Structure 1
Amino acid sequence: MDRGFAPAKINLALHVTGRRADGYHDLDSLVVFAGAGDQLTVLPATTLSLSVTGPFAEGVPAGEDNLVLRAARALARARQVEKGATIRLAKMLPHAAGIGSASADAAAAIRLLASFWGVEPLAPDDPEVLALGSDVPACLMAPRPLRMRGRGEAIEPLPPLPACGLVLVNPGVPVPTAAVFAALGPAAGDPLPPLPEAPDAEGLAAWIGQTRNDLQPPAETLAPPVTEALALLRRQPGVLAATMSGSGGTCVGITRDIGTARRAARALQIARQGWWVAPAPLLAA
């Protein structure tokens, strides 16, 4: 049995810089990965199959529509693999939550199965990878921090970021990505400001304060609990900055270290017992 980890993908900033002729939006985003995620295991088999368990398994398809199976079949097709595998996915992350859990699962499946089958994984710029979704190329490069532009195909690896803590908060309201982009309307904003060289946690938080997530206003309109989650995060001692990740509704607080993140998460877990709250380290490299 081989095991893999699919870390949550976090957008610490997300500027929408325009709309493309193909209907997609051009983005400019700082992407990092958290030490919280889904778990995958694979076992030998003659055919490909998938089972889904875990606290967020409900509503996740286990058939051919699942990105894990689609990624597995894309890898097998590209590398002419005739073997199968039994894939078990433990969903520890909420879905429709702006943290790329399905894309992270697909990327983890590609890495895990490539090792399991003894073949080269698909590259982030492989057309088969982008066909799986705009976030999958970035997730294939986890856990390195990235600047992601275009619709996700233009990826620039960044130097390591400080080993700070993260507090992930999801109020339990699904925020479909398509609905958020539909509510966004025309958008042509400025790109991200330059990232400071070798920032500490405070410097990273200050930089986040100069940026925005252009998907946050429509997400807050569609899911008002996102506004509440951000307000509660910002009131926690030790939270240096807070923002919404991706298209929402997971919000992220930045802390100096994982100990501070755990204390803030515990306070939020007590205050909002129906919410998903998870402390995690930022995976710096």
Structure 2
Amino acid sequence: MASAPLARALAPAKINLALHVVGRRPDGYHSLDSLVVFAAFGDMIEAVPAAPVATPLAIEGPFAAGLAAGSDNLVLRAAMIFAAHYPGAAIPPLRLEKNLPLASGIGGGSADGAATLRLLAALNGIRDESGLAACAMKLGADGPMCLASRPLRARGIGEALTAWEGLPPFHMVLANPGIGVSTPAVFRRLERPDNPPLPDALPVFRDAAALAAFLEAATRNDLAGPARLEAPVIAAVEDRLAASPGCLFARMSGSGATVFGLFPDSESARRAAATLEEQHASWWLRPVALAAPSVGAVSRTG
């Protein structure tokens, strides 16, 4: 039987409602302009008591089989970065409950690493936003936004963050056709790296329908076309989700292959996910709510 955790932190799924690739830097990184939200669902990171034969990281959950507890695992990498930045900090054994598909464009690994930083900071009584942000940046471009885990406009390579206030309530269905997509492979297929950015000023949305209309008319995911070339099934997922009753808008998130559908309420999202699950048993489908501002909080259980 697994030991009861000392504390836990949710690593929420990150959804790119829009992702504009607006340039390429001399160092090879692409400059982005993106609108990001987080779901009230994701992986879970737990600190557990040390066992007689303790391992630094145990991995459980529906997608555990595809993930190794090696040095490239972002949970372990985050723990090592934290230990180097805060010498003497206690680093307990960790457990990852892997609920999100791998290589799916919804920030799973980066969210896991960022949640690990939040968890270790809470356990060690560290309240150092700038230090934790520096640690998160070492996880990769998505690290800082996953550390924040709130609606954001992300620019640069993902490190220039602005809070995105005043979003209306809405729900989503996340749909993945059961495949992973390589982000480098998608970027290699990108024909134009200097696309127009998002509008300078973002409007205030009266409801989910207004948000969907704005996303349709004024935003893009510049990686969607390249990702469909890598995995043509993505187009079918988008079409089926967009055709679901109640769906206001559908688009691929990040570099794929997960697609989100925007819904005005939880019931229409739940019905759409249930119907698609009946029709596509191999797809991963999840109705989710928009995360509350407290999604990044660490809960102590021991």
TM-score tier after normalising by the smaller chain length: over 0.9
Q: Is the 8 A contact 2:187 2:223 kept in 1?
A: yes
Q: Is the 8 A contact 1:165 1:259 kept in 2?
A: no
Q: Once the 2 structures are TM-superposed, how far is the Cα of residue 225 of structure 1 from its aligned partner?
A: 0.8
How many angstroms apart in 1 are the aligned matches of 2:180 and 2:220? Answer: 21
- Residue in structure 2 matched with residue 28 of structure 1 by the alignment: 33
What is the identity, as a one-letter code, of the residue corresponding to 1:17?
A: V
SS of the counterpart of 2:269?
helix
Task: Calculate the aligned-residue CA RMSD, in Å.
Answer: 1.7
Measured at CA, do residues 54 and 219 of structure 1 come closer, stay the same or move farther in structure 2, by a change above 3 Å? Answer: same
Cα deviation 1:223-242 (Å, max 9, x = unaligned) = 01100000001110100000
Runs of 4+ in 1 over 4 A off after TM superposition: none
How many angstroms apart in 1 are the aligned matches of 2:195 and 2:139? Answer: 27
Q: Is the 8 A contact 1:32 1:145 kept in 2?
A: yes
Measured at CA, do residues 135 and 72 of structure 1 come closer, stay the same or move farther in structure 2, by a change above 3 Å? Answer: same
Measured at CA, do residues 145 and 82 of structure 1 come closer, stay the same or move farther in structure 2, by a change above 3 Å? Answer: closer
Selected match of 2:179 from 150, 165, 173: 173
- Residue in structure 1 matched with residue 260 of structure 2 by the alignment: 252
Measured at CA, do residues 44 and 81 of structure 1 come closer, stay the same or move farther in structure 2, by a change above 3 Å? Answer: farther
SS of the counterpart of 1:16?
strand
What is the identity, as a one-letter code, of the residue corresponding to 2:163?
A: P
1:236-251 correspondence to structure 2 within 5 Å: 236-251=244-259
Q: Once the 2 structures are TM-superposed, how far is the Cα of residue 48 of structure 1 from its aligned partner?
A: 7.2
Q: Is the 8 A contact 2:33 2:156 kept in 1?
A: yes
Q: Is the 8 A contact 1:173 1:225 kept in 2?
A: no
Q: Which structure 2 residue ranges, 5 or more long, are not aligned?
A: 1-5, 294-302
Cα deviation 1:89-138 (Å, max 9, x = unaligned) = 00000010000000000111100111112223553884432121110100
Selected match of 1:280 from 281, 288, 291: 288
How many angstroms apart in 2 are the aligned matches of 1:107 and 1:128? Answer: 9
How many angstroms apart in 2 are the aligned matches of 1:208 and 1:223? Answer: 23
- Residue in structure 2 matched with residue 217 of structure 1 by the alignment: 225
Instruction: Verify: 1:265 aligned to 2:293, yes or no.
Output: no
How many angstroms apart in 1 are the aligned matches of 2:287 and 2:112? Answer: 20
| Percent identity of paired positions between Structure 1 and Structure 2 | 49
SS of the counterpart of 2:276?
helix
Selected match of 1:135 from 131, 142, 162: 142
- Between 1:24-33 and 1:37-46, the stretch displaced more is 37-46
Q: Is the 8 A contact 1:175 1:249 kept in 2?
A: yes
Selected match of 2:13 from 8, 29, 45: 8
What is the identity, as a one-letter code, of the residue corresponding to 1:13?
A: A
Q: Which structure 1 residue ranges, 5 or more long, are not aligned?
A: none
- Residue in structure 1 matched with residue 127 of structure 2 by the alignment: 120
- Residue in structure 1 matched with residue 210 of structure 2 by the alignment: 203
TM-score, normalized by length of structure 1? 0.95
Cα deviation 1:151-185 (Å, max 9, x = unaligned) = 11101011141221100000012111010011113
Selected match of 2:90 from 74, 83, 87: 83
SS of the counterpart of 1:74?
helix
SS of the counterpart of 1:214?
coil
| Pairs aligned (count) | 284
What is the identity, as a one-letter code, of the residue corresponding to 1:73?
A: M
How many angstroms apart in 1 are the aligned matches of 2:234 and 2:131? Answer: 31
What is the identity, as a one-letter code, of the residue corresponding to 2:280?
A: R
Instruction: Verify: 1:156 aligned to 2:162, yes or no.
Output: yes
Measured at CA, do residues 276 and 19 of structure 1 come closer, stay the same or move farther in structure 2, by a change above 3 Å? Answer: same
Q: Is the 8 A contact 1:45 1:83 kept in 2?
A: no
Instruction: Verify: 1:52 aligned to 2:65, yes or no.
Output: no
Q: Is the 8 A contact 2:16 2:34 kept in 1?
A: yes
Instruction: Verify: 1:184 aligned to 2:190, yes or no.
Output: yes
Q: Once the 2 structures are TM-superposed, how far is the Cα of residue 82 of structure 1 from its aligned partner?
A: 4.3
How many angstroms apart in 2 are the aligned matches of 1:103 and 1:259? Answer: 30
Q: Is the 8 A contact 2:178 2:283 kept in 1?
A: yes
Q: Once the 2 structures are TM-superposed, how far is the Cα of residue 78 of structure 1 from its aligned partner?
A: 1.0
Q: Once the 2 structures are TM-superposed, how far is the Cα of residue 276 of structure 1 from its aligned partner?
A: 0.1
How many angstroms apart in 2 are the aligned matches of 1:75 and 1:257? Answer: 39
- Residue in structure 1 matched with residue 3 of structure 2 by the alignment: none
Q: Is the 8 A contact 1:13 1:208 kept in 2?
A: yes
Instruction: Verify: 1:64 aligned to 2:95, yes or no.
Output: no
